[in-house]
Structure 1
């Protein structure tokens, strides 16, 4: 997963920290992990413009750095691959996992393992750390402790033990939403390559059919799902509006989400189709 030479690694960690605008301490710590996770999520938007436009999604570190530095974001495999690479270079002990997404799934449905997350062992504790779950991404590491309600800058979460598995839940409107289920067995580059290819090319994947973009800021999250824009923040009234055209969607991507949407080949036609589809619904 880390194919770069030592010299290239030094360059990549500097480029990554410059992108985040943070410099953690010299030694791995819980505080450094929390600072890196929140900075990553707020610096790099979540988006699926490449699979939506039918373009390749690379998990190579140089390609990820180049993409993110060019005002682009990505989804879980891109975010957490680069995040894990940086953590390893900074001395953190990490384990990469795959999870089954439960949001919007029927209770009895068996979903595929299509989400990447990390376990991080630091200061004698095992933490779950994730930078790529869209509008429900925890903005702080979570202790791997069953049923403990844990506050983050953008909401409350808990981990529920299910035998050998764990379920991540988020509080929303007084209820606990089931986000995803994982077990602590490590996954490997070949596993992520397979899952990444599946979600970025399969015509039934929502990443190839629907537009999803999330930009996290201090007081909430900007969310774009197809032609519907919303802003959600703890203790703040929500904002929601429908966008009327592909051009308006592109403008919101460029301004509100700071994404270079105009540079994505084939995207404009997809945005036009999404606007027409939502208008007809």
Structure 2
């Protein structure tokens, strides 16, 4: 069985016919329902590999990953079905002061299909849109897991000599009736070496939250399971169904294996890291 055949076998979604916006929506949701967002490798000091065979081996063995892994694998699947995709890099803006310029450390896709340009992203953790979004500013767009909008904004302080585009897009999500910024991007294409560089930074730098904090998100039809360090939450469309604190490394491991359906026990060095996280003050993990 080929690499992508194994991928489609897990997602259970391989539309026939020409690429379409409807097929893209089904593929994006199927991917997100099949593969959790998680950072177990960088957290435990294991390498994050971005080549297709490594991604397929990992994702088809009860694992997931973060944006570079998720969207590079997803892009390969889309391209195999004839979709025209352009990989982009974004600056994370969630919980960041407006005057702080962040690096481009988030990957997403621009997809041209049915005469439209759509943003399709499977790797932004608990706030990932679960449907493609039309590249149209100031229009509220409903997805199976919440409402989003794109806002056209100025550059992030780039000097004119850099040749930056005249404007960028900011993705926002509606949270408790308020619009919150998620990330900001332009339409300049980026390629594998760009992602390798950004991936190396976020997976190894001591200041990266992916090397310090436990993060896992599993999307289900009715909401999302979210684990941030020792705090577990179950989010519904408009409410939090459950929230609790975990108190030990084994308890965290069991939750990852069961609720998140991750083969966490196989990750070298993870058990010790979970013990250390559980030993922190719970207030610092929230």
Normalising by structure 1, we get a TM-score of: 0.95
Cross-structure match for 2:259: 256
The answer for the alignment partner of 1:226 in structure 2 is 229
CA shift for structure 1 position 13 = 2.5
Correspondence 1:94 to 2:85: yes
User: For 1:26 and 1:15, how far apart are their aligned partners in 2?
Assistant: 20
* Contact preservation (8 Å) 2:234, 2:241: yes
Off by >2 Å, runs of 4+ in structure 1: 235-238, 278-281
Q: Partner of 2:247 in structure 1?
A: 244
The one of 3, 16, 25 aligned to 1:12? 3
Structure 2 distance, partners of 1:80, 1:129, is: 9
Q: Which runs of 5+ in 2 are unaligned?
A: 155-166
For 1:224 and 1:66, locate their aligned partners in 2 and report how far apart those are by CA, in whole Å.
Answer: 24
Deviations 1:242-273 (A, max 9, x none): 00100000000000000011000000110001
* Structure 1 residues without counterparts, runs of 5 or longer: 1-9
Give the conservation status (yes or no) of the 8 Å contact 2:4–2:56: no
Deviations 1:130-173 (A, max 9, x none): 00000000000000000010000000000001142000000000
| Structure 2: distance between partners of 1:126 and 1:263 | 40
Mapped to 2, the partners of 1:14 and 1:133 lie a distance apart of 25
Q: Pairwise CA RMSD of aligned residues?
A: 1.1
Which secondary structure does the structure 1 equivalent of 2:279 belong to?
helix
Separation in 2 of the partners of 1:181 and 1:231?
A: 27
Q: Per the alignment, in what secondary structure is the counterpart of residue 23 of structure 2?
A: helix
Q: 1:124 is matched with which residue?
A: 115
CA distance in 1, matches of 2:22, 2:188: 26
Aligned residue for 1:270? Answer: 273
Contact 1:131 1:137 in 2 (8 A): yes
1:197 to 172, 182, 200: 200
1:8-45 alpha-carbon deviations (Å, 9 max, x no partner): xx822211111101121221001110000000011000
- 1:200-232 per-position Cα deviation (integer Å, ceiling 9, x unaligned): 000000000000000000000000000100000
Q: Deviations over 1:32-61 (max 9, x none)?
A: 100000000110000000000000000010
Q: 1:80 maps to which residue?
A: 71
- The residue aligned with 1:47 is 38
8 Å CA contact retained: 2:233, 2:240: no
Alignment partners' CA distance in 1, 2:193 and 2:238: 42
- Contact 1:227–1:278 (CA<8 Å) still a contact in 2? no
